[in-house]
Structure 1
């Protein structure tokens, strides 16, 4: 059994996880990296993908992150995510419907700001859709 360390996952909406865990695999911008207790200090940006968490009870969970930052040091691992959603809460049909709505918003956009916002939303939703395909 691996030694536990403190892990916190925070999104703008809420604190999703604050507990001792055995391991976390993070989708870093330069590739996935695993964090165990006593990991060397590291700060990394995060690309869209799934964080994999191995809990101290032996269970595992996956959480989709849109992006953000990971910081590991003597006090454990903290991830500040732009968006974080447990994998079981992501539904392919809902994401597809949201993409369709956003594409309609793009087609109906009356100015550059509205077009840019719609394109950004479509890009984010397609990242979620691509990540779901890997499950």
Structure 2
């Protein structure tokens, strides 16, 4: 199934700030459920910067990665959140290159940061979405990461 980055949120806990990327279904049979993927704060901030096309003057790791792919004649074709094992999500980064298509094993956070910069489609395996689907209510109450990014 196809998905979009619905939000990048943070929660303050006694152990510190926790970041979550909220993926929403992009189809007519939308149940309203979302897939939350907990990521590191820096990765979440990079995803938000990619969504907003923010240029901070110097390229961050995801900007450099994208620059390398493009300078070598490639392009990010799509991102697939392909599996989940013991609460850890796995992603496949599909890249078109001059030599053909290739799939790179990547963390969801890195893949989503690249998708945010390229508008590449995001897909989630149906069984993965079904395992992790949650009501959006609890995530809507969390702060948008952009509210705390200046506090880094």
TM over 0.5: no
**Which of these two proteins has the greater Rg computed from alpha carbons?**
1
Higher relative contact order (CA 8 A, sep 6+): 2
TM superposition score category, shorter chain reference: under 0.3
| TM-score of the superposed pair, with normalisation by structure 2 | 0.23
| TM-score of the superposed pair, with normalisation by structure 1 | 0.25
